[in-house]
Amino acid sequence: MKDQSTAGCYVNRELSWLQFNKRVLEEAEDSTNPLCERLNFASIFQSNLDEFYMVRVGMLMDTAHLGVTDDKTGLTSAEQTAAVSRGFLKVENNHVLLLADTIERPEEIDAVRAQREIDEAREVLLQKKSRQEHQIAQATLARALNRLRVKARGPIV
């Protein structure tokens, strides 16, 4: 067993990986990169994230009930899963906004239509609908809100 006094000297493998993938996303956000390159980085980001959740987070969740502790950082599987989830939410929100920003220019966004989509999605979410209808409404709501955020930022110079 490792000396617990060195636990703070190491960065957790999963958190380090999320930081790396965030840097890939930053390349996709960089408006000095050509559009095709930005979309390529966004695609790499998403592919990496899919694999990360299927393999690494899956393994953490499988071992969470065992109380397994990382030798280097001293974090349990449950603590790592919680930390990864917080980091994922920050990164994923940037990714959704980036895609909205990359695919549609602010001046092309119809704010009235986006607001109507928001209102309709919220109405569906308040009703007793199927799980699938709620998921579609949540996705529609997120997309429309991000479109309005992009519109509010104005044209990219």
Going from N- to C-terminal start, the domains of the chain cover 1-103, 106-157
pLDDT for the residue 90: 56
In this predicted model, what pLDDT tens digit does every residue of 54-105 receive, in sequence order? 888 778 778 877 877 876 777 787 777 777 766 655 555 555 555 545 556 6
d(Cα 104, Cα 155) in Å, to the nearest integer?
Answer: 10
pLDDT for the residue 134: 85
In this predicted model, what pLDDT tens digit does every residue of 21-56 receive, in sequence order? 888 888 888 888 888 898 899 889 888 888 887 888
d(Cα 114, Cα 50) in Å, to the nearest integer?
Answer: 28
Structure token pair of residue 111: 């704010």
* Predicted confidence band of residue 140 (pLDDT cuts 50, 70, 90): confident
d(Cα 118, Cα 151) in Å, to the nearest integer?
Answer: 15
Structure token pair of residue 154: 């104005």
pLDDT for the residue 2: 46
Q: What is the DSSP letter of 107?
A: G
The set of residues, in sequence order, having a beta carbon less than 8 Å from that of 134 and lying 6+ positions away, is 124, 125
d(Cα 141, Cα 49) in Å, to the nearest integer?
Answer: 22
Structure token pair of residue 84: 């990864």
Please report, to the nearest 10 degrees, the dihedral formed by the alpha carbons of residues 83, 86, 91, 95 taken in order: 140
Residue with tokens 């980001």: 45
100 three-state secondary structure: helix
pLDDT for the residue 116: 94
In this predicted model, what pLDDT tens digit does every residue of 95-129 receive, in sequence order? 555 554 555 667 778 899 999 999 999 999 999 88
Judge: domain 1-103, CATH 1.20.58.310.
Answer: yes
